[in-house]
Amino acid sequence: MPEPERDTQRADGNAAAAAGRRPLLPGLAMLRAYDRTNWRCDALAAVVVALVVIPSALAYAELAQSTPAAGLLAAVGAMAVFALFTTSRHLMVGPDAAIALLVGAAIGPLAAGDPGKAAALTMILSLLTGSILLLMAWLRLGIAADFLSSPAMLGFMNGAAVVIIGSQIGKLCGIRLDGSNTLFAFAELASRLGQVHVATLLGGAVCLALLAFFRWGPWRIPGAIVVFVLAMAAGGVVDFPALGLSVIGKVELQMPDMARPHLVLDEAASLFPAAIGIALLVFSEGIVLGRSMANRHRYDIDPDRELVAFGATNVAVALLGSFAVGGSQTRTLLNDATGGRTPMVGLFAAALVLVFVVLCAPWIARIPAVAIAAILVFTAVTLFDLGLYARLRHLHRFSMVVAAATTAGVVVLGVLPGILLGVVLSLLGVLAQIVRPQDALLGRVDGSDTLHDVGDDSLARTVPGLVVYRFYGPLIFANVRFFIERVESFLAEETDPVRQIILDARAIPGIDLTAAEQLRDYVARLRERGISFVIAKAHLPLREMLDKLESDLLDGPQQFGQLADAVAAYTAKHRGGAG
């Protein structure tokens, strides 16, 4: 981006901050102050985004067990509404493979093949998702998205890729698979290979070859556009149904026929877990993508406002009778690469999609369904990261376990249970770090007064008669027993009688009541054994809690602002022969 634009964006942000006001519709505020010199760049970006979103919307509607029209309505409504609410200049939203897969997994078992019931459940799920996002914004709970850790997210993406392939592999082969589970689907396909429809398989192979060529070949353009246009053109001259190939069918941009409300309201409660999972996925993916774009172009986004934007967008697509939507990495990067500069790209692209669908609906209806299946399978292939587990194992073994377990859970147990498994494992990992945090026994290297971790520095030796212990984490009911056990183990390892323990508390942010009481009792027992206890560099929450217990742990000379002063006081005292 040219430097003057960066300066303009920075100035706009500073002006807004100086004004001290946060507009209800940040995107609309940006559009009101729209610099018309940007319209050419925005219009070009909108054309590219629109061309990419149309085949994506049709494909992801299949994953969400919705109609093609629902996918197109989701794309149009999402881009138009999000442009009014967002604080990001580049983030593009709309149908997304992972989110659509979650939607399909949630409503599929409940709908049981009833299109009207599926449409009603889809609308309710989108409405719940949007409402949860808006509630999170009101409560300023953007941090809740962090419960979906990176290993869990990456593991989910790999699992989702396998599930997408499993859901479409039968359509690529012209076989209707009845397996309700991804593994069962692959097993069923293997047992029915003799029933493969050759024409469908050849059509799918050609589409996959084109997608691969335009992704990894010399011309790096979105292969989905090429496949979509060629399939649409072929549908105008080839009678695919006569060849035994199914087609998309009639596409009408209208609200789908729904089951009566009372038929699905009783089942709405069962959609809450799915809505929570989708909301977390929508925001966690969207905010990461939005921040990366903002950092690249040197402006700021407001996470709470982005929660509002995602929430309002999903409520809007619910009112259109469509499925939940989220940020799209592909379309966002294309928007940036083709020069998009403002949220106007979303409005332009929505209008272009609407016009295109109205004018070309008869042509879209004749697109062979295998082309959409090929787009989905290829999308899944690009989602899958085979080297993920080796990288995570090298960096952090437990993260690899979380990712692998999440992948296996999504494939074997299902999409929603798999995500829940990933979240639970991530939280267990955090809990394990709290219950068994890192710690260190500190000592000196000969000729130096600097303290080092004895476990990290082979030359470091403890000061005779002194145990200096550093604890990395809050002292709470769940780890105070571990704390005492570690101190006792260090006391047992010392060859000289220990006269004093110094706790380096710089890495202890706080202490709870149970831990404080047990620490007080432990220190009393140490004194009975002739061992004094000193705390150095204690933070205010730690000092306040111990003071509330009327403990003498921090009284007088036993409190030191610096660890070096505590060690110096001990060595001075015992050098002089005091015991």
What count of Cα atoms within 13 Å lies in the side-chain half-sphere of residue 510? 3
The answer to whether 546 and 511 have CB atoms below 8 angstroms apart is yes
Cα–Cα distance for residue pair 554/547, rounded to 1 Å: 8
Cα–Cα distance for residue pair 65/208, rounded to 1 Å: 22
Q: What is the 3-state composition of the chain as percent helix, strand, coil, each rounded to the nearest 5?
A: 65, 5, 25
The answer to whether 248 and 372 have CB atoms below 8 angstroms apart is yes
Q: pTM of this prediction?
A: 0.76
Length of the chain counted residue by residue: 579
* DSSP strand pairing (532-536 vs 326-327): unpaired
Structure tokens at 445: 């290297």
Cα–Cα distance for residue pair 279/405, rounded to 1 Å: 22
Cα–Cα distance for residue pair 494/502, rounded to 1 Å: 14
The answer to whether 493 and 522 have CB atoms below 8 angstroms apart is no
Which residues is 442 bridged to in the sheet? 453, 468
What count of Cα atoms within 13 Å lies in the side-chain half-sphere of residue 6? 9
The answer to whether 106 and 249 have CB atoms below 8 angstroms apart is no
Residue found under tokens 């999402």:
78
Nearby residues of 499 by Cβ (< 8 Å), 6 or more positions away: 465, 466, 530, 531, 532, 570, 574, 579
Cα–Cα distance for residue pair 523/84, rounded to 1 Å: 61
Structure tokens at 137: 């914004």
CA dist 261 to 114, 120, 122, 209, 268, Å? 14, 7, 12, 45, 10
Tens digits of pLDDT across the chain (579 residues) = 444 444 444 444 444 443 445 677 777 777 778 888 888 899 999 998 998 899 999 999 989 999 899 999 999 999 999 999 998 999 999 999 889 999 999 998 888 778 888 888 999 999 999 999 999 988 887 666 566 677 888 888 899 889 989 888 998 998 888 766 788 888 888 998 899 999 999 999 999 999 999 888 887 778 888 999 999 999 989 999 999 898 888 887 766 666 555 556 667 788 998 999 899 889 888 888 888 888 888 888 888 888 999 999 999 999 998 999 999 988 998 888 888 888 899 999 999 999 998 888 889 999 999 999 999 899 889 888 888 888 888 888 899 999 999 999 999 988 888 888 988 998 898 888 889 999 999 998 887 778 888 888 888 888 899 999 999 999 999 999 999 999 999 999 988 899 999 999 999 998 888 998 898 889 889 999 999 999 999 888 777 777 776 555 554 446 788 898 899 889 888 765 444
What count of Cα atoms within 13 Å lies in the side-chain half-sphere of residue 10? 10
Helix (H) or strand (E) segment spanning residue 116: helix 115-138
Nearest in space to 560 (alpha carbons), one of 510, 486, 479, 506 = 506
Query: What is the number of other CB atoms lying within 10 angstroms of the CB of residue 449?
Result: 10
Residue found under tokens 């030359």:
459
Say how many Å lie between the first and final Cα of the chain, rounded: 71
Structure tokens at 127: 């409405």
DSSP conformational letter for 467: E
* DSSP strand pairing (532-536 vs 466-471): unpaired
Structure tokens at 322: 């469509």
Cα–Cα distance for residue pair 541/479, rounded to 1 Å: 17
Domains recognised in the chain with CATH numbers:
23-429 (no CATH), 439-575 (3.30.750.24)
Cα–Cα distance for residue pair 87/24, rounded to 1 Å: 11
Amino acid making up residue 6: R
Helix (H) or strand (E) segment spanning residue 439: strand 439-444
Residue found under tokens 């002292």:
475
